[in-house]
Amino acid sequence: HVQLVESGGRSVQAGGSLRLACGASVSAANDDCVGWFRQAPGKEREWVAAIFAGDDHTEYADSVKGRFTVSQAGGTTVSLQMDNLKPEDTAIYYCAAAPLWPGFQAESVNDYTDWGQGTQVTVS
- The Cα 82–Cα 91 span in angstroms is 13
Q: What is the pLDDT of residues 66-80, one digit of tens each?
A: 999 999 987 789 999
Q: What is the pLDDT of residues 18-60, one digit of tens each?
A: 999 999 887 777 779 999 999 999 999 999 999 998 889 999 9
CA angle 95, 99, 105 (to 5 degrees): 75
DSSP, res 109: G
Spatial contact of 40 and 48, defined as CB atoms under 8 Å apart:
no
